[in-house]
Chain A
Amino acid sequence: KNEVEQSPQNLTAQEGEFITINCSYSVGISALHWLQQHPGGGIVSLFMLSSGKKKHGRLIATINIQEKHSSLHITASHPRDSAVYICAVRKSGNQFYFGTGTSLTVIP
């Protein structure tokens, strides 16, 4: 059983499109992270959320604690956004549970 579910698993978009990646979780959490994993394997933290909404450049992350759901949006997508986007939740203490990731390909 996966504590964290992401959708879609794979996503292909045309450059400039608005993209949404969803994350649902089944456990009580203290924080949710969105991570970006590049084709070479490196992982970068994008956001950490415990409530509401955060924005950084073209990226927007929202979380609804009551519905146990978070979304990551990318506005004006670009080929360099192509990566795997991973949702991870912090359940208690310092233990994290990861989603399987959404593989995004943005076509020029």
Chain B
Amino acid sequence: EPEVTQTPSHQVTQMGQEVILRCVPISNHLYFYWYRQILGQKVEFLVSFYNNEISEKSEIFDDQFSVERPDGSNFTLKIRSTKLEDSAMYFCASSEEGYAAKNIQYFGAGTRLSVL
């Protein structure tokens, strides 16, 4: 069964460093998402991406964050200068379509980011 894969599963970084979290969405999916979950808190939407551009972003997704689809398979989330409060589980998801009827999202297993 096709799945969304995320690498690495755990990333440890020093405050101020740049990190890139990688995701390989399901191959025929067109819509891509990043979410984060701070330990013990609810999942929060970061950004959605379609047709090589951001379609929606939340208040959390400030200038420190960027997303890219550098090739036909990867979808990346970059945090330019990490802060302690960026420590969280980051989930990537993809969906076949963007409208309600076919917006079933498939989630990756997540990347745990620890900022020291």
Contact = CB atoms under 8 A, between A and B. Distances in A.
A98 B44 contact: yes
* Chain B contact residues: helix, strand, loop or mixed: strand
B79 interface: no
Contacts of B112: 41
Interface residues of B, number: 29
B42 A94 contact: no
A68 B33 CA distance: 25
- Which bracket fits the contact residues of A? 20 to 34
Contact of A42 (B43, B103, B105, B109): B109
Contacts of A96: 33, 35, 45
Contacts of B55: 93-94
A40 B58 CA distance: 26
Contact of A100 (B42, B104, B110): B42
Contacts of A100: 41-42
Interface of B: 31, 33, 35, 37, 41-45, 48, 50, 55-56, 58, 89, 91, 93, 98-101, 103-107, 109-110, 112
